[in-house]
Each structure stands twice: as C-alpha cells, then as structure tokens.
Amino acid sequence: MISKLVMATNNANKLREVREILSPLGIEVLSQREAGADCDPDENGLTFADNARIKAKAVYDIVHLPVIADDSGLCVDALDGAPGVHSARYAPKGEECAKLLREMKEVPESERAAAFRCTICYIDENGEALMEGACEGAIGFREAGENGFGYDPVFMVGDRTMAELSAEEKNKISHRGAALRELYRFLKERYGE
C-alpha cells in the first residue's frame, strides 16, 4: 500500500472527506500546499476528466508522489448539460442558485432532471486512472436548506434539497463520495493489504 497521497487542492472540506474515506487504508492524505506544490493550473478542459487530469498532472510533476485531483459540477438536462464544467464560473459566487432558477423559470417539473457529476484522476509512476461518481436529482423551484453550498439549495434529492440533508446523509449519496469510494476500491485492488 502507498503511505502518502497528495490531493491537488487546498480545500479543507474536500481534504476532510478524502481523509475520512481513505483512512481505513492507512494512507496519509496531504494537501498540495502541505506537499510543497504551489501551483494553480488553468482548468481549461472540455470535460470533468480533462480538468481533473490537468490538476493532477501539474501537482504530480512537482511532488513526484501519488496524486489525486477532482473536478465536478452540476449538469442540467434542460440546459443541455450546463453549467457542467463551467459550474464554478457560471455565476458570481453566491448567485449560482438565483441564476439557475431564473434560467429554469419556464421549465416544467417533469423536465427538471439534473445530476451532480464528479471525476477523480489518480496519477502515480505507473500512469493514471479515472474514477467517476454521480448523484441524480432535479432542480427545485426555490432555494431551501442551510447545510450546503453552491447549487445544493436548489438540487432536489427526493423531496428535500441537498442543503436540507445532514452531512452524513449527503456523503452517502454525493457524487464526490461515490467517486471516492471507487478510488478506495481501486487503491485496495492495486496495492492490496
């Protein structure tokens, strides 16, 4: 088993989630800053996989340790998959939900399907691997809930928004959680115990 893994992020919430899921494997997960990788690569890919690969490769080229990077976003069927890879740049921070609700104003309930999607790229000296996760749902008609960020207050899972779920409930169904569980299985298969 590898002893260290670097995540191409300095986001404390992402790091916590990765550390929790990989902890049974005994892998120490470092942020890119902790590993000495001071870089901010331009995420100009056309897909989540492209952007995850760009970030992972940039950090790997500096630290030469196993690296993971993720890219994720919201894909809305009625908007032809938008905001997709542009989810973070779709609207000014804090205005994402308001813009999405305006664009979806005339869309009937039956056509509001959406999914959060996440791709994780793992790179080490043997090459790379991609893991994907998704959380299917729909876009609601108003914001609700206090527990989320980004699009969580308008993303419906059943009769509640993602922002109305507890952290534990969200982690069980989240797109990033699903991709991280794939990563866990991949690392366990590749390195055994």
CA pair distance 171, 103, nearest whole angstrom: 28
Confidence of residue 143 (pLDDT cuts 50, 70, 90): very high
Structure tokens at 20: 């929790």
Among the listed residues 40, 42, 70, 71, the single catalytic one is 71
Residue 46 has a pLDDT of 95
Structure tokens at 15: 């790091």
Residue 171 has a pLDDT of 81
Confidence of residue 85 (pLDDT cuts 50, 70, 90): very high
Helical spans, DSSP H, in 23-105: 48-63, 96-103
Residue 98 has a pLDDT of 96
User: Model confidence over 151-174: pLDDT tens digits?
Assistant: 999 999 999 999 999 988 988 899
Q: Are 32 and 7 in contact (CB under 8 A)?
A: yes
Nearest 5 degrees, angle CA 56-CA 58-CA 62?
110
Q: Are 62 and 36 in contact (CB under 8 A)?
A: yes
Confidence of residue 193 (pLDDT cuts 50, 70, 90): low
Element spanning 184, H or E: helix 175-191
CB atoms within 10 A of CB 184: 18
Residue 96 has a pLDDT of 94
- Edge-to-edge strands of the sheet including 160-161? 28-31, 4-7, 67-76, 113-124, 127-139, 155-157, 160-161
Is this model's pTM higher than 0.75 or not?
yes
Q: Residue 71 catalytic?
A: yes
Domain boundaries defined on the chain: 4-191
When the candidates are 3.90.105.10, 3.30.360.10, 3.40.47.10, 3.90.950.10, the CATH number that belongs to 4-191 is 3.90.950.10
Q: Are 146 and 171 in contact (CB under 8 A)?
A: no
Q: Is pLDDT of 59 > 60?
A: yes
